[in-house]
Structure formats: C-alpha cells, structure tokens
Amino acid sequence: MPYETIAFDIARGIARLTLNRPEKLNSFNATMHGEVRAALARVVPGGGRVLVITGAGRAFCAGQDLADRAVAPGGTAVDLGESIERNYKPLVLALRGLPVPVIAAVNGVAAGAGANIALACDLVVAARSASFIQSFCKLGLVPDSGGTWILPRLVGPARASGLALLGEKLAAETAEQWGLIWRCVDDSAFPATIEALAAQLAVAPTRGLARTKQALHESWERPLAAQLDVERDLQAELGRSADYAEGVAAFVGKRPPLFAGK
C-alpha cells in the first residue's frame, strides 16, 4: 500500500512505522494522521507482534504542522478541540490499546504532540542526541496527546510542571535519569539497540505481553484489592494459553521456548 507521509512494513513479526516528512521534522498534517491510523489498523492483522515507531531524518516528530492548520479569528479553541478529538485522541488510545508492545525509537527531537505520542508508547528508547520538548506553552496551549496525564505519572508533579510551564528542552540522557523514558543509548548504538529489542519482542509470548500492557495501564484507576483480582483473572486466562504451555515445556526440557503469541 503506497503512502505519502509515512513508511510502513511488516516482516518477521516486526511492524515498522516511520514518520516520513523529514523536511517538516515529521510534523503531522491531515494526510499523515490518516495514514498512521490506516497503518496501525494493519499491525495485528498483518502478523505484527511488535511495533517500532520512528522518524525519518534528524527528528522523531515536531508535533502538529501549524502550516496545515487554518485558524479562523475567534475560532481557535473550537478548531483545535476538533483536531484533538478527530486525530490525536484516537491515535494515543490506539497506541495504548494495541495488543502488541510498541517501541518509540526516538532518533531526534520529539516536540509537542510528537513528544507525548512517543511517551504513549510502551518502551521509549532515545538516541543520546535526541531531546523532548513540551512546546505547547510557547503557543499559549496546554500539553495535549495525553501530556497532562502521563507527565506527572512518569516524573511527578514538580518536574511535570517545570516541563509543561517552561517548555525547556530535555536531553535524552536526563529523560532517562528522570524515568521519563526506558533507555538512552549512544547514537552509534541506537539502530542495533532498536533492532535487538524488536527482535526479542517479536518472538516473545505476545498474548501475555498484551495482557501485561492492559493490566499496567488500567492499574492507575483501581485500588490494590481490585488489581489483585484482575491479576488473578488474567493469570487464569493465560494459564490456559499455548504460550504458557510452551514456556513450561521449554523450562522443563531446558530448551529455548518457541512462542506462537497465542
């Protein structure tokens, strides 16, 4: 399937989605939103067991392409709200709800919605030269694409407030130290690190990982006793899966497991 603003393929269980507007720092326009939605809908039916999202060129994603957004005088709030509802909200929810692990391979600057789309992924690995910027305050806006929800949960209210109110560039190394991302790696090691991580997850017990994602994401809304019930129910379900049977057989037989993802 041809795309104008992204590259997408699935091979050996690894789905790769590359935001491909390097001349615009991979900022989103209406076409990119539509193509990303279409690509995400193909991941699981196409046999993807892990998704890697990255950017072409020197940026991961600079957020919204402001040149693509016509703002009428006095209508700014309505226009932006409609864009969030139509584009960014379903994108973030799709990434969080995708039943496979999602890796954000942050190869360069991730700004505005681009930063928060990366943070909505399950594992964020950034090149050492990459950075994260909550640039909304420079435009008189609030962090969207889940920014006001995920930032305080990842780094606490004090650091979340500093990032959101000041809009300062956060280096990838500091982002790792703060717990905002999973890992920061040297630029020279970045491609190999992403490939190794994707290959590892592509042969992992996919169904169990999907349920792990679900349990982690939903845990914010439950008290401990309720979450213990969820863990019980998920273990009962997964204990009947083919992957669990294979994992036990491989352990007993002292051999590597061959998970089918089911």
Domain match, 111 and 227 both: no
Residue 188: which residues within 8 A CB-CB, separation 6 or more? none
* Residue 10 domain flag: yes
Q: Quickly count: other Cβ atoms within 10 Å of residue 126's Cβ.
A: 29
For residues 240 and 121, membership in a common domain is answered with: no
Please provide the average confidence, as pLDDT, over all residues in the chain.
95
Residue 168 lies in a domain: yes
| pLDDT, mean of residues 97-107 | 98
Q: Are 22 and 8 in contact (CB under 8 A)?
A: no
Using CA atoms, how far apart are residues 63 and 113, in angstroms rounded to an integer? 4
| Chain segment 15-40, per-residue pLDDT in tens | 999 999 999 999 999 999 999 999 99
Q: Are residues 148 and 235 in the same domain?
A: no
Are residues 114 and 224 both part of a single domain? no
**Looking at residue 69, what is its pLDDT?**
67
Lookup result for tokens 């982690």: 216
Total domain count for the chain? 2
Kindly report, residue by residue over 231-244, the tens digit of the pLDDT. 999 999 999 999 99
pTM of the model: 0.94
Provide the 10 A C-beta neighbour count for residue 1. Answer: 8
Cβ contact 101:123 at 8 Å: yes
Q: Residues 43-79: pLDDT tens digits? A: 999 999 999 999 999 999 999 999 886 545 554 544 7
Query: Both tokens of residue 79?
Result: 């226009």
- Residue 71 is given by DSSP the state -
Beta-bridged to residue 184, according to DSSP, are 126
